[in-house]
Amino acid sequence: MATTAFVTGHSYATNSFSTETTVTSPDGRDFGNLENFTMMVDGRELTAIDRNVWGVTFARDGDFYATVASGGKTWLMSGDFTDKRLDSITENAECPSISPDGRRVAYKKRKAGAGAVHWDIAVLDLSSKKETLLPLEKGLDDQVEWLDDETLLFGLPREDAVGDSDVYSIDIHTDSQPQLFIEHAWSPSVER
């Protein structure tokens, strides 16, 4: 189980917060704060003091994937508890979610360009490393969840009702459009 808390007092950026993500196994083993793991970006160790980790998702084999941020950049990283190490897979990825079959990881990807922050959904095939982008008209700010091996769920706020939102589904194949899945709901979770 991963727990991420927003904390103050160890961020070195002004007017900012940072995260602390700790992991405990179901049998009670404490793996500690993931920021203390060795982090490698493109084969080089990331030692910057502003490292943050969040958005952890676990594979059935015990490996995991997480978001790592430093220096204004984010990466999707794969993690190993035995070696206490995280290795970058791709840049500009946040809040990963592994598919039930363990073959893909979905995440939000910041859309390039100036203007307001806008995230689309990206799906990475872990064996081929092929990324499929699923552009969204409305920006996403939620961790996606897998309904099954081909369908993602995510929440979007309603434009016409402050504080209300809906859950949408989208097929992971190119040119898919979001479909309303559950009204008046947010941040879905699927029980397996």
Has residue 111 been placed in a domain? yes
Would the pLDDT of 163 be above 80?
Answer: yes
Has residue 109 been placed in a domain? yes
Task: State the burial class of residue 92 (Cβ atoms within 10 Å of its Cβ: 0-12, 13-18, 19+).
Answer: middle
pTM (two decimals): 0.89
Has residue 188 been placed in a domain? no
Has residue 12 been placed in a domain? yes
CA atoms of 173 and 53, how far apart (whole Å):
29
CATH of the domain at 69: 2.120.10.30
Domain range for 28 = 2-137
Structure-token pair, residue 111: 């859309």
Has residue 167 been placed in a domain? no
Number of structural domains the chain divides into: 1
18-73 pLDDT, tens digit each: 788 889 988 999 999 999 999 999 999 999 999 999 999 999 988 899 999 999 99
94-147 pLDDT, tens digit each: 999 999 999 999 999 998 775 778 899 999 999 999 999 998 988 888 889 999
| DSSP string for 109-178 | EEPPSSSS--EEEEEEETTT--EEEE--SSPP-S--EEEETTEEEEEEE-SSSTT-EEEEEEESSTT---
Has residue 189 been placed in a domain? no
Has residue 151 been placed in a domain? no
Model confidence at 14, in pLDDT bands (50, 70, 90)?
A: low
Would the pLDDT of 13 be above 60?
Answer: no
* Number of neighbouring beta carbons within 10 Å of residue 104: 21
Has residue 159 been placed in a domain? no
Pairing of strands 145-148, 151-157: antiparallel
CA atoms of 168 and 80, how far apart (whole Å):
32
